[in-house]
Amino acid sequence: MLTIVIFTNSRYHYLFPLLEDIKSSNTNTKIWVVDYGKSPDKNIYKSIKNKKIKIIFDKKSSKYNDHTRNFTNRYYKYIQLIKTKYLWFIGDDDRIDKKYFQVLLKFLRYQDGSGFTLSYVSFQEENFLEEAQYSKKVIREENFSLLNDVNNLGMISTQIININCFKKIKKNLDKKILFNYGYPQIYIILEIIKKFKDWKKISNIIVYYRVGGIIKIKKEILKRLNQEFKGYLIPLKQAYYSDIYKKLFRKIFIKNILSWILFSIEICGKRNTYKILKNNNKLSPFILSNFIIKILVLMSPQAVINSIKKIKRIFNF
């Protein structure tokens, strides 16, 4: 019924608590742990006795000196290997509510939809999970609203994909969009949503998404800012007409990209940040966007913070 795939760079301190969350499944669930580290400690994995958990060592999937490209290739490789009805990628540093996990598996047995976006909360400290876990016996399902929920598509751990639906859109995927922009799941899910129109959202909090720990390397931050633009906006521009795209652009720009602009200005400086913004200006459906971006970059960091807060308040984000 379901295959869970977890990519890890030998981060056992994160991985093993996550496996504790999900290994107790008593349904037809497979768990693949794909360790792409250069020198994984295979003896550590020998302590895992659960037959549902398959350990795969795949350092060849890290052959490029670009972790974003490696992730995309790895994602596309394993989505094609799945034989079960549903696939769920989970980040190795995220956590799953144990109680809701069991309820979710029972729910999925009787579903035929193209996929689901799960609700989540962010956390930094492990003790938060003990306070947050709760259980109700009913999964609350609702229609997925692209305008309201598009930001969640970038979070790999919150997406469950129907493999048969993926196979039906696979041949029409644009490989340039799929492999070059760092968010392959956004593009794939948008194509599934466009074709099948029955993607659902589950409002129960099931996923705990770990935040923090961003490495403050200028090159990586600028690459991430570029990824936030292209990874979200190019698939959206490809899939939707201009009037819808304008609304989605505003949503993504205000809720996701503005914060990364601020972070980039703080760490990388205004000049470097502006180069990324200028290179992505064609993705904007608004004529004055380049002018607005110029003003934004010329402002002091504190003024940018205040402007972002004001913009989010005006648009109720």
Contact residues for 72 (Cβ-Cβ < 8 A; gap 6+): 178, 179, 182, 184
SS3 204: strand
Burial of 90 (0-12, 13-18, 19+ CB in 10 A): buried
Please report the beta strands in 144-252, taking only residues with DSSP state E, as ranges in sequence order: 159-162, 200-210
What residue spans in the chain does CATH classification 3.90.550.10 cover? Answer: 2-210
pLDDT > 70: what percent of the chain?
Answer: 84
pTM of the entire predicted model:
0.87
Separation of alpha carbons 312 and 317, rounded Å: 5
What is the CATH topology of the domain spanning 2-210?
Answer: Spore Coat Polysaccharide Biosynthesis Protein SpsA; Chain A (3.90.550)
Q: Which of 121-125, 166-170, 283-287, 311-315 has the lowest mean pLDDT?
A: 311-315
Separation of alpha carbons 311 and 306, rounded Å: 9
Beta-strand pair 2-8/86-89 = parallel
Separation of alpha carbons 27 and 74, rounded Å: 27
CB 15, CB 33: distance < 8 Å? yes
Q: What is the largest CA-CA distance in the chain?
A: 59
pLDDT given for residue 126 in this prediction: 61
SS3 1: coil
Beta bridge partners of 56: 34
Q: Residues in the chain, how many?
A: 317
The torsion defined by the Cα of 239, 197, 191 and 158, in degrees rounded to 10, comes to 110
The predicted-structure confidence for 57-94, as pLDDT tens digits, reads as follows 998 888 887 888 889 999 999 999 999 999 999 999 99
The predicted-structure confidence for 185-217, as pLDDT tens digits, reads as follows 999 999 999 999 999 999 988 999 988 766 778
